[in-house]
Each structure stands twice: as C-alpha cells, then as structure tokens.
Amino acid sequence: MNIRSFIGGAFAAIAIATAMPAAAHEPAETVTPSFEQAIPNIPGKSVRALVVDYPPAGASLPHEHAKSAFIFAYVLSGEIESQVNDEPKRVYRAGESFYETPGSTHPVSRNASKTEPAKLLAVFIADTDDKELTTTIGTKE
C-alpha cells in the first residue's frame, strides 16, 4: 500500500465519520417487558410494565404512546432527562416519578449521565387491544 492510498483512505474515513449525524452515535435504550395483566374489573384494559435500561449517554428516539395509554414512570437508578409534550425538560433521579396522560408525546427521554447507566420502570394502563404502546415520531427542529 502506498502512502497516497493510506492518506486518501484516512481522509475518506474521517469525512464519513463527521458526516454522520450525532444521534447515530448515541447508544439506544433496552426495553424489557416485565409484567402484563388484564384488569378484571375494567373490561378491555390491561396493565403492562416495562423496564427501560439506558447505557451512559443512552437515549430513546422521540416517540408517542398509544392514545389509550396512561403511563406512570419511576426511576429505579441513575438520572433520566425527560420531556413530555411541550413541558420543560426535567431530570428525574432514582426514587422520583412522573406520569404521561393518554396521547402524550415524548420528545426527550435519555440518560442524563454520560458515564453511569440509568434504569426506568414504565407502567402502562392501556386498551388490551393496543399492541404498539410506543411509536417513533420525527424530531422537532
């Protein structure tokens, strides 16, 4: 391999890396279903619990939840930065909680730390027939 090929390849790699959006480098969250049960005294409704693990600097894509879903979120560990609808962004620490009303959008949901993991428990009360609880939406500019 001659020096021109090596330098050309290095510049090409740098150009490709810097052209990629920053969000593509953010690690994604891991969502693990934890519990699901029909609510016997509320026909057509179920409760579902999910554990969301964020690696350091991890983030969810902007999303909205099922139109029927009321969500209770509890931070199990670390710190989660969240924004629901057009409310201000807020950081929630382990032991703190928040909720989302049906049809809410979630433009920001991420680990507030670049060095420590974070974990969130999300409990949904939604229509039993709702199979998709979360749908990715376009980012706001």
Q: Is 121 helix (H, G, I), strand (E, B) or coil?
A: strand
Tell me which fold the domain 27-136 belongs to: Jelly Rolls (2.60.120)
pLDDT exceeds 50 at position 74? yes
Dist CA 73 CA 100 (whole Å): 8
**Of residues 120, 140, 106, the one with CA closest to residue 29:** 120
Residues linked to residue 98 through DSSP beta bridges, in sequence order: 73
Yes or no: say if 121 and 56 are a contact pair by the CB < 8 Å rule: no
Which residue ranges make up each domain of the chain?
Answer: 27-136
Residue pLDDT, tens place only, 17-31:
333 344 444 688 999
pLDDT exceeds 50 at position 72? yes
pLDDT exceeds 50 at position 14? no
